[in-house]
Amino acid sequence: MEAVNNFELSAMDRWEIGNSSPLIIAGPCSVETPQQLDETVRGLVANGVKVIRGGVWKPRTRPNSFEGVGHIALPWIKEIKEKYQVKFAIEVASPYHVEKAFEFGIDLFWIGARTSVNPFAVQEIADSLKGVDIPVLVKNPVNPDLALWIGALERINQAGIKKLGAIHRGFSNFNDQVYRNSPTWQIPLELKTRYPNLPILNDPSHICGRRDLLNSVAQMAMDLNFDGLIIESHVNPDQAWSDAAQQVTPEVLGKMIAGLHIRKVAI
Ligand code: PEP
Ligand code: MN
């Protein structure tokens, strides 16, 4: 692991969204249609989820695959937020995404693993976030580089974002026999040790790549005192336009969350 310079993440606020501890963010990998979004969110709300995730612009590995419906999803999201009284999180990967998301009242942004790997892109996003007062979560870069992850957090923090958090989504591997992205828990644990005030969520969906492993990874994150989970859920997982194999229905998700053994009481 590369040596990491110590630095202070300055003036971090404690933040809370959706009043749940641990923080649960759930929703489809991608927003696909108004109907898919409505049915998924209805199911999630019925299962106690108050903060929804949904990809609008999707950074896909290969060209010619579905790359998200784009900005047309934003008015659908606005309507769903009002209808179900939920908060909504999306991935932003450029100043344009930030501007559009802000225009439509998105409550929380995250920076994806294919963006946090690129300091130029992160700096551009950071510059566009000046004056923004919503939580921003930074996923680990795809490669197991703690310094790069911290550097991305630092760029966002130096832009004045005080409601900061991290998401552990695992690390690219060539030949892991089990996980889509190896969890390599020592990296997020090192981040937690260095920055005890930085909330960190676990993303079992992108670590596992398959739904049958989600529960064990989510439980591990709870056992390690992570502050929350961000999990993909779709009303009809097998028909999802992206990441079908790792998504679960809102009902399955609700049962899984209810069955987790949670030690932590306050974020
Ligand atoms: C996602 O959250 O759907 C996503 C694209 O994740 P990651 O950036 O972790 O690959
Ligand atoms: Mn996904």
Total tally of structural domains belonging to the chain? 1
Residues around ligand 2, an ion, CB closer than 5 A:
29, 243
Q: Which of 224, 209, 228 is nearest to 49 (CA)?
A: 228
Which protein residue's CA is at the shortest distance from atom 9 of ligand 1?
113
CATH code of residue 81: 3.20.20.70
8 φψ region: left (φ > 0), alpha (ψ -120 to 50), beta (else): beta
Ligand 1: atom nearest CA of 30 is 3
Cα-to-centroid distance, 118 and ligand 2 (Å)? 19
Checking DSSP bridges between strand 228-232 and strand 164-168, what pairing results, if any? unpaired
Return the ligand 1 atom nearest residue 167 CA: 9
pLDDT of residue 267 exceeding 50 = no
Q: What would the pLDDT profile of 90-119 be if each residue is shown by its tens digit?
A: 999 999 999 999 999 999 999 999 999 999
**Element containing residue 234 per DSSP (H, E):** none
pLDDT tens per residue, range 3-39: 555 566 776 777 888 777 899 999 999 999 999 999 9
The verdict on residue 58 lying in a domain is yes
Task: Tell me the best of 30, 32, 97, 169 to mutate to test the pocket of ligand 1, counting ligand atoms within 8 Å of each CB and taking the most.
Answer: 169
Examine residue 178 and state whether it is found in any structural domain, yes or no: yes
Instruction: Look at residue 1 in the predicted model and tell me its pLDDT.
Output: 47
> N- to C-terminal Cα distance for the chain?
28
Rounded CA-CA distance 195/2 in Å is 17
52, β-bridge pairs: 26, 88
- Residue 254 within a domain: yes
Per-residue CA distances from 1 to 51, 76, 145, 146 (Å): 34, 43, 7, 7
User: Distance between CA atoms of 192 and 69, rounded to whole angstroms?
Assistant: 35
Specify the amino acid at residue 45.
Answer: V
C-alpha–C-alpha distance, residues 146 and 140, integer Å: 8
| Cβ proximity of 34 and 220 under 8 Å | no
Confidence (pTM): 0.95
Pocket of ligand 1 (CB under 6 A): 29, 55, 59, 112-114, 139, 169, 206
Return d(Cα 58, Cα 65) in angstroms, integer. Answer: 10
In a domain, 17, yes or no: no
Residue 171 contacts by C-beta under 8 Å, 6 or more apart in sequence?
140, 142, 143, 144, 181, 182, 183, 184, 187
pLDDT band at 165 (very low <50, low <70, confident <90, very high): very high
- 252 in a structural domain: yes
Measured distance CA(45)–CA(219) in Å, rounded? 22
Instruction: Decide: helix, strand or coil at residue 164.
Output: strand
Give nearest CA residue, ligand 1 atom 4. 112
pLDDT at 12: 75
What's the 263 CA to ligand 2 centre distance in angstroms? 28
Q: Tell me which residue has tokens 């933040």.
A: 15
Distance 113 CA to ligand 1 centre (A): 6
> Distance between alpha carbon 51 and the CA centroid of its chain, in Å?
11
pLDDT in tens, 58-77: 999 899 999 999 999 999 99
Structural domain for 230, as ranges: 23-259
Give the mutation target among 114, 115, 180 for probing the ligand 1 site: most ligand atoms within 8 A of CB: 114
What average pLDDT score do residues 175-196 get?
96
Query: Where is 25: in which H helix or E strand?
Result: strand 23-27
Give a yes or no: residue 91 inside a domain. yes
What's the pLDDT at 11?
Answer: 64
Q: What is the ipTM of this complex?
A: 0.99
Atom number in ligand 1 closest to CA 59: 5
Residue 2, pLDDT > 60, answer no
pLDDT in the model for residue 5: 54
The residue assigned the tokens 């739904």 is 211
**Residue 141: inside a domain:** yes
**Is 5 a member of any domain?**
no
Asked if residue 243 has pLDDT above 60, the reply is yes
